[in-house]
Amino acid sequence: MSTCPQYIVDYMHEYLDGDISREHEQQLKKHLQVCSDCRQHMQELSDTIAFVKSAAHITAPPHFEDKVMQRLPKGKNRVGIQKWFRRHPIIVAAAVFLLFMSATMLSNYPSDEFSVTTQPNLIVDGQTVIVPAGEVVKGDIVVKNGDLIIEGEVDGDVTVINGQYMASTSVVTGQIEEIDQVFEWLWFEMKDMANDFMALFKE
């Protein structure tokens, strides 16, 4: 990898940040097909990002909320709140819309039932999905309430909801997401809805 151009590493970071252009993405994919060192470096970067996302979230100290609430100034009377609502109807409407949308999404929050997207070349062993060594899966893989082991290649995005992602020398050309919290799942659903909405205008 020391002999590879620096822009290839830059393209890797652009790709993982989601800011890569189509042209740069194609150049990166072509290079990864022929350079095993860069493939390994790309996998290490992907694994690091997946590990950081799956790390335990920081929790507030005990009684933190009570102490903060005690320090807040006393609320204004109801007349002031009603006046603010009348002055900002768009913000109120947006907040109500987000509340209903979040409630709808939460009602679809994954249950304990295991599921996986239908893709050829996948092996399902109980609640573990395996991409065997030497196999290439073209398309996205979404595993709910199960684990994913990638030993081969995935030409697409990988999403694991309420499970674990494990890989050794695998190659994933798309993004890797591990979702195990309600808010992360909501964010995933909102991005998915936004992508579907944008796709309507591209057709």
List pLDDT tens digits, range 4-41: 888 888 888 888 888 889 898 899 889 889 998 888 88
Contact 53, 177 (CB under 8 A): yes
pLDDT at position 58 = 58
> What is the phi-psi region of residue 172: left when phi exceeds 0, alpha when psi lies from -120 to 50, beta otherwise?
beta
pLDDT, average across residues 115-144: 87
pLDDT at position 66 = 80
- Average pLDDT of the chain is 77
pLDDT, average across residues 135-147: 88
Least confident residue range of 37-46, 64-73, 179-188, 189-198: 179-188
pLDDT at position 190 = 65
Extract the tokens encoding 203. Answer: 């057709």
Question: What digits encode the pLDDT tens for the residues 44-53?
Answer: 888 887 777 6
Q: How many CB atoms lie within 10 A of CB 76?
A: 10
pLDDT at position 86 = 73
